């Protein structure tokens, strides 16, 4: 199911993300030669409704239309079938960013494909790997890393001052590539926002023009560690008022990357008095009691934490999670 090509598919720089299925037919790995042969790997559209990465690459390549690339680029264009219908994934598909080497997902055609892409790139010894995503809710732009080495953190710090370190969920592209090159994930706000496209495009250009990544720890970054993930059991209905089982807070959507103090109200319990959330740590253990308690039919934080990706968008919650809980991390 993987296409691999050494030339730019005709029309690629003019199409919309939802037209890529017609143009390419299936997920496609494109190798373009530049002056420095050690390639920069860029991964886009692992989630079909997160288009920023594709448009950033499109703008970048347009800007090099009449001059050589300073460094070779390998671009992976992922879930074109989901992009055609503006969905994260199709119901029949696994999540394209949970099936890379290291995944807990059962073997299938898609895990084979990601394994193939990883093996192809491992032998090409990439200079760095950049995977580009969007999120729902309101979040600043930030970069994520899966290992705390200086090259990864320097790369992340070139995107901005906010960096998140996570080791769960498993099977993400950036963690797989961290095995053989510095790897980052860019979270570029909501899909379709112009500043996310220009920010990630300019970041790719900076990395493309770089000779080497500094080897010392960056001093300017605020580093967070994802310590838990909050999900909503499927059986409970959701709203922000009304008579659903759980009431979510629109206000918290504006508090991503702000520290919330102990006692902050996290959600309200509605029609079903037994309704609750699930909080799991990076080892998938239930740590609900460590972070949350119920006070007067409200779910309240037991200790101060920082949120990321908090959203009230029900589809995003059902597809992934309600939010992540983070703590500040000091690097010496
Ligand atoms: Zn994503």
Mean pLDDT, each 10-residue run in order, the chain (332 residues): 97 98 98 98 98 98 97 98 97 97 96 98 98 92 97 97 95 98 97 97 98 94 96 91 87 93 93 92 94 95 95 91 94 72
H-helix or E-strand spanning residue 300: strand 298-301
Residues near ion ligand 1 (CB < 5 Å) are 47, 50, 133
Q: How many residues does the chain have?
A: 332
Ligand 1 center from residue 82 Cα (angstroms): 12
Q: How far is the CA of 320 from the centre of ligand 1 (A)?
A: 10
Residue 44's pLDDT is what?
98
What pLDDT is stored for residue 331 in this prediction?
A: 79
Q: Cβ atoms within 10 A of the Cβ of 303, count?
A: 13
| Cα 44 to ligand 1 centroid, rounded to whole Å | 9
List Cβ neighbours of 222 (8 Å cut-off, separation of 6 or more): 161, 162, 163, 328
Is the whole-model pTM more than 0.75?
yes
- How close is the Cα of 297 to the center of ligand 1, in Å? 33
pLDDT at 204: 98
Spatial contact of 257 and 138, defined as CB atoms under 8 Å apart: no
Q: Tell me the CA–centroid distance for residue 126 and ligand 1, in Å.
A: 22
Residue 133 near residue 197, CB atoms below 8 Å:
no
Classified as helix, coil or strand, 129 is strand
Cα-flanking dihedrals φ and ψ of residue 219, to 5°? -100, -10
Expressed in angstroms and rounded, the spacing between residue 92 Cα and the centre of ligand 1 is 18
Give the C-alpha separation, 19 to 214, whole Å.
39
In this structure, the number of other CB atoms found within 10 A of the CB of residue 206 comes to 12
| Distance in angstroms (rounded) separating the CA atoms of residues 177 and 95 | 17
Whether 139 and 308 have beta carbons less than 8 Å apart is answered as yes
Residue 91 Cα, ligand 1 centroid: separation in angstroms?
16
Residues 221 and 163: beta-carbon distance below 8 Å: yes
Report how far ligand 1's centroid is from the alpha carbon of 178 (Å).
18
| Cβ atoms of 223 and 329 closer than 8 Å | yes
Cα–ligand 1 centroid distance for 191 (angstroms) = 10
Contacts of 34 (CB under 8 A, 6+ apart): 68, 69, 70, 71, 72, 73, 208
Residue 130 pLDDT: 98
The pLDDT value given to residue 138: 85
- Ligand 1 centroid vs 190 CA: distance in angstroms? 10
Report CA(332)–ligand 1 centroid distance (Å).
30
226 vs 205: CA distance, rounded Å: 28
What distance, in Å, lies between the first and last C-alpha atoms of the chain?
Answer: 45
Q: Which DSSP helix (H) or strand (E) runs through 142?
A: strand 142-145
Ligand 1 centroid–CA 8 distance in Å is 24
């Amino acid at each position: 199911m993987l296409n691999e090509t050494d030339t730019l598919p005709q029309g690629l720089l003019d199409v919309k993300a939802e037209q890529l299925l017609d143009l390419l037919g299936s997920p496609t790995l494109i190798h373009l030669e530049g002056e420095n042969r050690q390639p920069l790997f860029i991964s886009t559209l692992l989630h079909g409704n997160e288009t920023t990465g594709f448009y950033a690459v499109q703008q970048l390549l347009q800007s090099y239309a009449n001059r050589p690339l300073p460094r070779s680029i390998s671009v992976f264009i992922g879930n074109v079938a989901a992009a055609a219908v503006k969905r994260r994934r199709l119901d029949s598909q696994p999540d394209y960013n949970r099936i890379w080497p290291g995944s807990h997902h059962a073997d299938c055609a898609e895990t084979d494909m990601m394994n193939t892409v990883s093996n192809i790139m491992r032998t090409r010894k990439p200079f760095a790997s950049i995977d580009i995503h969007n999120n729902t809710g309101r979040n600043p732009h930030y970069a994520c890393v899966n290992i705390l080495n200086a090259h990864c953190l320097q790369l992340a710090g070139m995107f901005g001052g906010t960096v998140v370190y996570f080791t769960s969920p498993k099977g993400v592209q950036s963690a797989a590539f961290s095995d053989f090159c510095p790897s980052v994930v860019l979270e570029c706000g909501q899909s379709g926002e112009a500043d996310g496209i220009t920010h990630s495009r300019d970041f790719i250009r900076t990395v493309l023009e770089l000779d080497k990544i500094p080897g010392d720890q960056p001093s300017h970054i605020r580093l967070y560690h994802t310590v838990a993930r909050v999900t909503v059991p499927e059986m409970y209905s959701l709203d922000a008022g009304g008579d659903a089982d759980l009431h979510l807070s629109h206000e918290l959507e504006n508090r991503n990357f702000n520290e919330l103090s102990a006692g902050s109200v996290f959600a309200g319990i509605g029609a079903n008095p037994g309704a609750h959330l699930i909080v799991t740590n990076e080892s998938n253990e239930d740590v609900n009691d460590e972070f949350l308690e119920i006070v007067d039919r409200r779910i309240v934080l037991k200790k101060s934490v920082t949120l990321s990706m908090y959203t009230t968008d029900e589809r995003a919650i059902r597809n992934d999670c309600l939010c992540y809980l983070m703590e500040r991390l000091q690097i010496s």
